Amino acid sequence: MQLYSTKNKANTASLKEAVFTGLPADNGLFMPSHIPVLPTSFFENIEQYTFQEIAIEVCKALIGEDVPEAEIKKIINDVLTFEAPVLKVSGNIHVLELFHGPSLAFKDFGARFMARLMSYFLSQDASKEINILVATSGDTGSAVAQGFLNMPGIRITILYPSGKVSDIQEKQLTTLGNNITALEIDGVFDDCQRLVKEAFLDAELNANMNLSSANSINISRLIPQSFYYFWAFAQLKKTGKPLVFCVPSGNFGNLCGGLIAKKMGLPVDKFVAATNANDIIPQYLTTGQFIPKASVSTISNAMDVGNPSNFQRLSDLYGNVFDDVKKDVVGKSYTDAETSAAMTEVYKNTGYILDPHGAVGYLGIKEYLQESGTDANGVFLATAHPTKFLDVVESAIGVTVPLPERLQAIVSKEKVAIKMGKDFEGFKAFLMANK
C-alpha cells in the first residue's frame, strides 16, 4: 500500500512508515495512492459472509501487499470479537450500533486494529519503541487506552481537555496506568490536537523519540472504520432498498471511512454529515468554504471540534472538487435543545435509548429522508453507549439507566492524570523528560 500526503502527492510513504509517523513532514495527511474496487461477486454474496470474513476481504484488498493474508486474518479475528448490529428504530430508520467493544465506543474498531497492526510491524524490529500521542474529546482516549494497554514496545500519552469529557470517559482513560499516561490539558480539544500536531513537526522531539499518533489522522484508524459500512449493507441487503448513512462526526474520520467504502464499490446513495453546534463541515457543504473556528462545548462533547483534521481527506477523496463532494455528502447540524428533544422523542415512542451523539445522527437521517422523499434504508451510527453520558441521557428520558458491568468496575477507581497548560513548550518539556 503506497500512500501520499494530501499537501503534496510527491511525498510518499509505505504503510509501515505512515502508521508509525502518523503525519507526513509537510503536515498533510496520508492517503492511499490507489483505492481498489472490490469485485461484483463480493457484493452479490455479501449477506452470506460473517462480519470477520467481510473485514478480511476489505483488508486484503487495501493492505494485502504489506501484510500476509494469515496475519490479516489473525488481526481481524482478534479485533472483531464483538458485534455491530443494525436495528430498526422506526419506519425506514435504522441504527448501526458501534458501542459493543471494550470501551463502549466505535473507536474500539480503529484503536484495536491499529494496536495489532503496529504490534505486527514491531515484531519485525524488537529493538524499536514507539511513543504514541493521542488527543481526545472523550472516546478516542478510552478506546486507545484499552486497545494498547500492556502492548510491548508501545507507550501511550493521552491529552484530554479538563472538564470537557464526561466523568465516565475520564475514568476510562485515567485509571489504567501501566503504559498509559493521561495529561489533563487546561484548554479545549483543539488545543490538545494542536499540541499533538506540533510535536510531530518538532525536529528535536522527533530526533529523540519515535513518535506516532492514534488519532483519526493515522491511516490505520481509517481502514477498520470502513468495515462496518459493508457489514451494515450486508444486514440490510435483502430489503432491496437504497442505502443512506448518517454519520455524527467531530474530526470526520468516521465519515471518511464510509467514503472509502463507497470508493471500494459499496452501493451507498448518500452520506449525511451530522454535527452539533460545531458546524464547520455542514457550513462547508453549503457554502464551499472551509472556515475553522474555536470549538464550543455541547452535550455531544466528542463532536466538539472546531478544526476537523480529516477535512483534508474528505476533500482529497474527490480531487478537491467541491461539486463532486456535494454529490455524495450533505451536511446537517443541531442544537443541544434539538438533540435532547430527539432523545426524549425516540425513547417515548420506541423505548430505544440514544446517547447525544446518536441523537444527532437520528435527527440527520430523519431530516434527510423527509426532505428527499427517498424510499431508502436510513442508517445512523450510534457511536457510544448511552451510559457514557448518564447525566445527559437520564435528564432527557427521565429514567435511571443502569451501568454495564465493565463501567461499574471503573467508577470507584482513582483518577491519575497530570495537569498541564496548553503551551507547547511545557508539553515538549514533559515529553523530553519522560522519553
> How much is the pLDDT for 323?
96
Residue 360 lies in a domain: yes
Taking only the tens place, the pLDDT of each residue in 201-254 is 899 998 998 888 777 788 998 999 999 999 999 999 999 999 999 999 988 999
Residue 309 lies in a domain: yes
Total domains in the fold of the chain: 1
> How much is the pLDDT for 343?
98
Q: What is the mean pLDDT of residues 20-38?
A: 91
Residue 404 lies in a domain: no
Q: Is this structure's pTM higher than 0.85?
A: yes
Over its C-alpha atoms, the chain yields an Rg (Å, rounded) of 20
Taking only the tens place, the pLDDT of each residue in 199-210 is 988 999 989 988
> How much is the pLDDT for 143?
84
> How much is the pLDDT for 289?
96
Residue 175 lies in a domain: no
Cα–Cα distance for residue pair 247/225, rounded to 1 Å? 12
Taking only the tens place, the pLDDT of each residue in 295-345 is 999 999 889 999 998 999 999 999 999 999 999 999 999 999 999 999 999
Q: What is the mean pLDDT of residues 265-293?
A: 97
Residue 226 lies in a domain: yes
> How much is the pLDDT for 127?
57
Which of these, 210, 102, 110, lies nearest to 154 by C-alpha position? 210
Residue 302 lies in a domain: yes
The catalytically annotated residue of 16, 60, 107, 164 is 107
> How much is the pLDDT for 126?
61
Which of these, 129, 397, 149, 381, lies nearest to 245 by C-alpha position? 381
Mean pLDDT of the chain: 93
Record the cell numbers describing residue 71, joined without a space: 496475519
Q: Is the pLDDT of residue 129 over 90?
A: no
Residue 324 sits in a domain of what CATH number? 3.40.50.1100
Cα–Cα distance for residue pair 384/402, rounded to 1 Å? 15
Q: Is the pLDDT of residue 128 over 80?
A: no
Q: Is the pLDDT of residue 9 over 80?
A: yes
Q: Is the pLDDT of residue 91 over 60?
A: yes
Residue 249 to residues 9, 31, 225, 306, Cα–Cα distance (Å): 27, 20, 13, 11
Residue 286 lies in a domain: yes
Q: Is the pLDDT of residue 148 over 90?
A: no
9 in catalytic set: no
Question: By residue range, what is the domain housing residue 352?
Answer: 83-104+221-397
* HSE-CB of 322 using CA atoms within 13 angstroms: 10
Residue 236 lies in a domain: yes
Percent of the chain with pLDDT over 90: 75
> How much is the pLDDT for 139?
72
> Helices (H) and strands (E) in the chain — how many of each?
20, 14
